[in-house]
Structures are given as structure tokens and as C-alpha cells.
Amino acid sequence: MDRRSMIVIMVMVVAPVMIAAQSVCPADDFMAEGKWVSGSELDESFPQFTSGNRFSWPDGSITWQRTAYHFQPRENWMNDGTNRLPWKMHVPELKTCISIDDSLQLLQSIPRVVVFDNKTRSHILQWPVEEVERLRLNSTEFNGIKLGPGSNYTLDIGTATDQLDISAEFEIDKEALEENEDEHVNYDCWGGVAERGSFGPFGLLVNTHPTLSELTPIYFHIAKGTGGHPRTFFCADKTRSSKASSVDKEVYGAEVPVLYHENLSMRLLIDHSVVESFAQGGRAVITVRIYPTEAIHEAARLFVFNYATDVSVVASLKIWKMKSLSFEDYKD
């Protein structure tokens, strides 16, 4: 196995560091028909996100259900047919640990390449493996969408928003950023998208109902730190992602470096209930799982928004719909 593959494997297990589980349910690999396979999910509370075959623990005490999350990998990837890249799962967030017979939550992310950031000289970059791009279908582009303070714009890509690869870039008036003051000196994402400031939040509303009854913002927020220097935060807000009461509704985020000549950019991989977000070429990464009850399938929409109070934002996006993979269970 080459060195790059080794780095991918080692980092993938700990990559979603912004995911802080509220509780950890029992989870492990399991035996099915004499072979060890990765445990996936049994979630009868949200059947719209479950599919696949059921397997039993060797002694018959536990029933599991395999789910393939469409373009999410099942167990591992092959790199040009030579290097197998095993990919373990991490535990999504639950308010309580439901009975193991009712729900065993595990999440499998897209494998990522990890490289040193030669621009900042202080960060590593995480980015989806290039094989994901082979699943892209038709694309739609939106260029130069001007968003005034407190506005949003519906991105008309049809009703099929379940499987998307989104590349988005945001341009903000740098002169206004330098001249205006901002009251959010100690901003840290945790107020969510409802915490409006002079320079944010702005970004995308994914898995969003047309009435905004359910929505999941993935966004930037710029705040002036001590001394008036701008600090950029990349955040994911789940507080209104679902009307269900039994799921996590936290806000996740981190500060992300942005060089002076750079526009703000993000890439999103949306696969039904799984949203993987990459900011500034992978300097910050957030993986979340959401459980909408209304904003699903044909009722899910995609918006771009600017809820800053003072500045306008210009957004440009390219959105690919993604095809599903076909899986066959291994048989001797």
C-alpha cells in the first residue's frame, strides 16, 4: 500500500472531528453468512432513509440492516484496483440511546485525500477522492446571484435534490468588510443561523422545505476579532433540520483561514440524510446527518441565502446531480 493510501486510512477514522456525539450506542462490525461486514443502520423511526438487507448476529440476538445511502460506499473503495482503502464509520448524534433493536446509528463518509496546505502552511486539506466525480450526471450553473442583506434565492434544479455535488463561491465587498465595524467579536457559530451580524451568515439551505418549515443551513459567518481583524467561520446548523424531537439539533463549526486574495468557497456532497461540507478547498470539513420529516424527496429544495445585516454577497454555483451505485452482495 502506498504512502498516500496509508494517510487516507489513518485520518479517515478521526476526520469528522466537529461531530460531537451526545451519546454512543453499541456499534461494531458483525458476522453475516460467515463473513465480517460493517454494521450499518436499523432505524424504523425514519424509514425514508433505510433500505437494504437484514442480517443477524451469530447467536441470533440482534438484527441489523445494511443501508447503502445510494452513492455512499458500503465498506471500502478500491484505488485503481490496487489499493484497498478500508473506511470505518463514526457514530452520528442521538439525544438518547434507543434500544439496539430499534436504532443502531452509524455513518459512513466519502473517503478523502489528505494533503498539506501549501498556501497557509498551517493546515491540512481534506477533499473527496476524485472517483466520486465519476458519479456526476447533468449540471446546472448559477452565476453572479446578488443577494442583499436578509435575502434568499431558490436554486431551480428540479425536485430531485436528494443526491447532489455542489460547488459554490461567494464574493463579499472587501472594502465594506474593512470599513464597517462588527459587534460579534467573540463569535463562535453556536448561535446558529439565527445569530445575524454585519457580515453573515450566508451560504446554502439544503434539505429545505419550500415553506422553510425544515431547513439545514451550511454557511460562512465573518466576524471582526480583537483589533478589527476579520475571522471567518464555517458552520452547519441543525436546529431546524427536523420537526422530530428525538434527534440531535446542534450547531457545528470552526474558524477557517481565508487568504486576502481568496473568495469564500464550499463544496457539498448531499446524499439524502448525509451532508458532507468542505470549506476553502478542505481547510475545514463538517459531516452531519439530518432527519427531516417534511423536506424529503420531491418536497426538498435548495436555496442560497444571505442573512447578514449590512453587506451584499454575490454567489456563483455549479450543481451536479449524482447517480446511484449498484451493489451486489458478495457470494462465494
Q: What is the pLDDT of residue 8?
A: 42
CA–CA dist 130, 134 (Å, integer):
8
The Cα angle at residue 211 between residues 205 and 215, in degrees rounded to 5? 30
Q: What is the pLDDT of residue 101?
A: 37
Q: Are 111 and 12 in contact (CB under 8 A)?
A: yes
Q: What is the pLDDT of residue 152?
A: 97
Quick check: is 68 in a domain? Answer: no
- How many CA atoms, within 13 angstroms, populate the side-chain half-sphere of residue 321? 11
At 195, the amino acid letter reads E
Q: What is the pLDDT of residue 69?
A: 39
Q: What is the pLDDT of residue 66?
A: 37
Q: Are 207 and 290 in contact (CB under 8 A)?
A: yes
Count up the domains in the chain and report the number. Answer: 1
Q: What is the pLDDT of residue 215?
A: 96
β partners of residue 114: 126
Quick check: is 271 in a domain? Answer: yes
252: left (phi over 0), alpha (psi -120 to 50) or beta: beta
Q: Give Dmax (Cα) for the chain.
A: 68
Quick check: is 313 in a domain? Answer: yes
Which residues, at least 6 apart from 18, have a Cβ–Cβ distance to it below 8 Å?
236, 252, 253, 254, 285, 286, 287
CA distances 106 to 66, 166, 253, 288, 312, Å, are 10, 24, 21, 12, 39
Quick check: is 166 in a domain? Answer: yes
- How many CA atoms, within 13 angstroms, populate the side-chain half-sphere of residue 175? 0
Quick check: is 205 in a domain? Answer: yes
At 192, the amino acid letter reads G
Burial of 200 per CB tally in 10 Å (0-12, 13-18, 19+): buried
CA distances 167 to 106, 248, 273, 279, Å, are 27, 27, 19, 10
Q: What is the pLDDT of residue 106?
A: 57
CA–CA dist 293, 41 (Å, integer):
18
Quick check: is 288 in a domain? Answer: yes
Q: Are 87 and 75 in contact (CB under 8 A)?
A: yes
- Could you give the 3-state DSSP secondary structure of residue 156? coil
Give average pLDDT by consecutive 10-residue segment, the chain, 332 residues: 37 32 31 36 38 43 40 45 48 44 56 90 91 93 97 91 95 80 75 91 96 97 81 95 90 93 95 93 93 91 95 96 75 56
Quick check: is 249 in a domain? Answer: yes
Strands (E), 9-88: 30-32, 35-37, 42-43, 54-56, 63-65, 76-79, 83-86
CA distances 241 to 29, 237, 244, 273, Å, are 29, 8, 9, 10
Quick check: is 192 in a domain? Answer: yes
CA–CA dist 284, 155 (Å, integer):
25
Q: Return the H-helix or E-strand segment holding 174.
A: helix 174-179
For residue 170, give the CATH number of its domain.
2.60.120.560
Q: What range defines the domain where residue 273 resides?
A: 113-322
Q: Are 145 and 314 in contact (CB under 8 A)?
A: yes
Q: What is the pLDDT of residue 314?
A: 97
